[in-house]
Structure formats: structure tokens, C-alpha cells
Amino acid sequence: MAHGDKSKQEKVVFVGDSRVRRGNGFITPPDYTAYPGKSEAFIPNFLLKEWMVGVVVLVGFLVLTISEPAPLGFPANPSASVIPMPDWYFLFLYQYLKYPYASGDFVVLGTLGIPTVSFGGLLLAPFLDRGKERRFYKRPIASALMFLSLISLVYLTNFAWTHYKHELEASGVEPEHIQREEKARENRELGLPTSNGTKQEEVAIVDKDDPAMETYKTATCISCHAADLKGAGGPSLRGVGDKHDKDAILAIIKEGYNGKMPPMYDTAISAGLTDQDIDHLAEWLAKQKTEQ
Amino acid sequence: MFKNVYNWIDERLDITPIWRDVADHEVPEHVNPAHHFSAFVYCFGGLTFFITVIQILSGMFLTMYYVPDIINAYNSVEYLQTQVAFGQIVRGMHHWGASLVIVMMFLHTLRVFFTGSYKAPREMNWVVGMLIFFVMIGLGLTGYLLPWDNKAYFATKVTLEIANSIPVLGPVLKELLQGGTIVGAETLTRFFAIHVFFLPAVLLILLVGHFIMIRRQGISGPL
């Protein structure tokens, strides 16, 4: 067939008319007979040996995992005073950015210049080091640069770490993950909850059926503090009794609060409430305490 | 029985060449630690992959409990760490594995560098390897924030400040990562998405490229 003849002449052979190139089948493995010695099959012979190395690493890894629990501090709190510390493999960068020639006026050199040159150089190493020679001692420039980088990595990391240790010592602060563990251990012994997590507890309304609830609505408190006392324009009044007693609440109704809330006494009176109602309302609000 | 099933599938999909490409090749003596103990330096690449697999698996189990929002992130990690059976082990594996993968990758890079294995024709594989290195660093960086404790929060704040000081691109990069003007709820979800979806996807693509190139070119010869 003409079609068949044509496909024999073409260099690239396509499957049917889909223009998908027909594969060459098995990728012939590179011939290692040029190398001296005994090569062996990847599966299963070599993989078994590699797996044995893997098992040694895995055992060490699991021993580390079991003996050193992953650290966890206290929940993030923007106003906490903490010495910020990156993961250990960023320490060299962190330390180097503290030097005067890498910060302040030279910050561009610090964050862009030197990292671009060094990481760019590493990325493009094969195109910079183009000689035929592979042994490291026959490539003095590449090897020297790498050794220099390694030494500075070790130096910077070590410097940052010892500095951090000194800072901790000077301030007398323990790292938070140790503090948390200690606190959890103490609480466990006392039978208290060990969690440091943020709790979202809803405070209940005390005496919901009290007539003061109606007064609260009539006096237009509802428009800022909401029908469920959870607050809208104004703050939540649930648990307000923890903060203010009856007299303080009366004063707030009559005089307003810190310029945020206007005096509401006159509004309440003109809504048809009596002094007695308002007094009872303040008394009821003062009873709004968090359950213990 | 198994053979019949295999043959039935192979007849239709021709799967034999696929697994032969992956599995059926010779390993030369100079990289085999059974013949020369010093050849253990050639194991670091395989070990990096091994730890990466552990990271992917342990990470998958962590997401069963982790909640990426600022109120529950810490609580879920604390619950996992202190209440869930073996939760401490799984989180520990992911935490220490993150360091170990960096160590192994670093050693692998040094082996390739000092044996000059990146020379022609393997330049492209070195470049892909370095890209894998950067992705791994990115994974370490984004994963650090996720427990949402003070250490995570302040380290991320510093990192974003550093990113901010890069001229022109810096502020854009910072806002993109931060998802707003402060380190907060958006930052956490962005870091979570980058850590769990974006970077692993890039990592897997690069790894496939890395391995295909190794199979095509074979391992570099003895010195």
C-alpha cells in the first residue's frame, strides 16, 4: 500500500493518522561494559542494597522522631515578645543579612545582589565550569568557591545559633516549646486542662425571662448591642457584669461611655420608662457574669 | 491468574516497555556500596527521594487533622500532637523529615558537584536539580508557618519583611504571599495552599524530569 511505503520513507513514524509519534519502545540502557568491574541489575539486586541503606537511615530517623517530639509553642500572638528565629537552614541567610554591608543602605546588595550571584552561579554551574576535567582538585576555581561557600555557611549558621543561645541566656527566657511542655506537664499533675489553644466559649444570658429584657429593648439598647446582647455597633453585653457593677452601669447609661456611647438615659425616659425600670435594667446587666 | 490478568492488560495497553524503562537497567560497580564502601555517597540522591516520599505520606496524614484557619490551626496541631494516637509520631516525622530532606539533598548536591557529574551531557539535570532544591526550600518556608504558634508567626513576619526589601518586585511578592497588609488569616491559607498544592505539584513534575534524564543519560562514569 502506498500509505505503508510512505511511512517507511519518513524518519519519524506516526501511529495511524493521529500524528502521535510511534515510540521506539524500550530505552536501551547505557552500556556500562566500558567501565571496569561488575555491574548488576537495578531490580532487584541493587535496589535491595539501596533499601538496606535506606533502612539504616529510617531507623535513625525514627529514633530521632520518638526521642524528640516536634516542637510547638504558644498560639501566635502579635503582641507577644519573642526572639524571631527561622528554621535552621535559613540561619546563614538570616545572619548574613544582619551585616552592615547587607542591610540598611546596602539592603539591595544583601537581599538581591549577593544571593542572586551565588545561587545563580550554583544554578548555572555546568555552564560556568565547562572544562572536561571532573576531579575536584583539577578544577581549582570551582572547588575553591564551593569550599569557601561551605565554610561561610557553617560559620554563619554557627554564629547565628550561638548568638541566639546567648540572647536566650541574657533574657532568661526559655524557648516557647519548652515552656509549653513544662506548663502542660505541671497542669497534668494538677489535673488541669493541658491545652493552650484559643477557646471560643459563648457566655450565656443570665435570667433571660427577666422583665429587664423588655426594658432593654424599649430603651433602644438593642440598636447597638443587638437583641441577643452579642453586640453590633457597640460591644457585647454578655458577661458585662464581670467588668462593671450596677452603679457603674447606671453611670454609663446616664453619662455615656468614654465618648463611644452617648448618654442614653433621656432616650430611655422618653421611650416611656421609669427610673425604677432603668434601675432594674442596670441591676440585671450587672448580673450578666460569665459562669464559673 | 496474575499472569493472565497482566497479559490481558499488556495486550491492550502494551505496558511492558513502561516498567522495563523504569526497572530494567544495569547499575555499574563504581556506585555500588556493596563493592566499594565509599560509594555510599551515591546513595544520597535515592535517600532524598526516600525521605520525600515519607514527607508526602506523613503530610497527607497530617491534613486529616490540620485546619488552615487562624483560630483552629494551632488547636488542631495541638490536638494532633497531644491527643491523637501516633499523631506525635506522624507530626514528628514530617517535622524532622523536613530537615533531613534538606540535609540529604545538600549532601547529594555536594556529591554531584565534587565528582563533576554535572558536566556535559548532564547540565540540564543539574539545573533541574537546583530547581528542586529551591522548591524544597520553599516547602520548608511555607510549612514553618502552618502550626500558627509564635515562632511560626514571627519568623514568617521577618521573612516577609526581607522579601519586601527586594526592589520593585519585593512589595508585590510580599503582598502576594501575605494576601493583604498584615500577616493574618489570608497569609495562613495562602501558605497552606502553596505548601500543600502548588509546590508539591511543581516538585513532582521536576522529579519526573530529573529521573527521566537520569535514565536517558545513565549515571556518570567513575572518576
Check residue A65 and give its pLDDT.
Answer: 95
Which residues of chain A are within 8 Å of residue B79 when distances are taken between CB atoms? 197
Test the A interface: residue of B13, B20, B27 with most A CBs within 10 Å: B27
The packing angle between helices A246-255 and A275-286, to 10°, is 130
| Separation between Cα atoms, residue A277 and residue A282, nearest integer Å | 9
Per-residue pLDDT reduced to its tens digit, B97-108:
999 999 999 999
B4 min Cα distance to partner chain A (Å) = 22
Burial class (CB in 10 A: 0-12, 13-18, 19+), A152: middle
Tell me which residue has cell 505541671.
Answer: A186
By three-state DSSP, how is residue A21 classified?
A: strand
ipTM summary value = 0.90
Question: Count of alpha carbons within 13 Å of A167, Cβ hemisphere only?
Answer: 11
Residues B75 and A194: beta-carbon distance below 8 Å: no
Q: CB B74 to CB A75 under 8 A?
A: yes
Of A34, A66, A184, which has the smallest distance from its Cβ to B89's Cβ?
A66
> Of A67-81, A153-167, A181-195, A200-214, which gets the smallest average pLDDT?
A200-214
Residues B75 and A197: beta-carbon distance below 8 Å: yes
Confidence of residue B4 (pLDDT cuts 50, 70, 90): very high
Residues A282 and A253: beta-carbon distance below 8 Å: yes
Chain-centroid distance of CA A105 in Å reads 30
Per-residue pLDDT reduced to its tens digit, A106-147:
888 888 888 899 999 999 999 999 999 999 999 999 999 999
DSSP element (H, E) containing B112: helix B87-114
Using the Cβ of A107 and the Cβ atoms of chain B, whether some distance falls under 8 Å is answered with: yes
Q: What is the DSSP letter of A201?
A: P
Which of B104 and A290 is assigned the larger pLDDT? Answer: B104
Q: CB A76 to CB B91 under 8 A?
A: no
Q: CA angle at residue A45 from A43 to A49, to 5 degrees?
A: 110
* Alpha-carbon separation of residue A244 from A235, A238, A279, A284 (angstroms): 14, 12, 14, 12
| Separation between Cα atoms, residue B32 and residue B38, nearest integer Å | 9
pLDDT over 90 for what percent of chain A? 30
- Measuring CA to CA, which residue among B95, B183, B107 is closest to residue B140? B95
> Of A50-64, A86-100, A258-272, B95-109, which gets the smallest average pLDDT?
A258-272
Average pLDDT, chain A: 84
The structure's pTM equals 0.79
Burial class (CB in 10 A: 0-12, 13-18, 19+), B94: buried
Q: Which of residues 186-215 of A touch B (CB under 8 A)?
A: 194-198, 200
Q: CB B78 to CB A71 under 8 A?
A: no
Q: Which of residues 119-148 of A touch B (CB under 8 A)?
A: 119, 122-127, 129-136, 139, 142-143, 146
Q: CB A65 to CB B89 under 8 A?
A: yes
| Separation between Cα atoms, residue B145 and residue B163, nearest integer Å | 16
Confidence of residue A281 (pLDDT cuts 50, 70, 90): confident
Q: CB B123 to CB A108 under 8 A?
A: no
Of B27, B50, B89, which has the smallest distance from its Cβ to A46's Cβ?
B27
For the residues A208-217, what does the mean pLDDT come to? Answer: 84
Confidence of residue A24 (pLDDT cuts 50, 70, 90): low
Best-predicted range by mean pLDDT (A37-46, A201-210, A250-259, B103-112): B103-112
pLDDT over 90 for what percent of chain B? 72
Test the B interface: residue of A48, A134, A174, A180 with most B CBs within 10 Å: A134
Of A73, A132, A139, which has the smallest distance from its Cβ to B151's Cβ?
A73
For the residues B15-34, what does the mean pLDDT come to? Answer: 84
Q: Which three cell numbers stand for residue B221?
A: 562514569
* Alpha-carbon separation of residue A110 from A88, A106, A117, A151, B74 (angstroms): 19, 6, 11, 19, 34
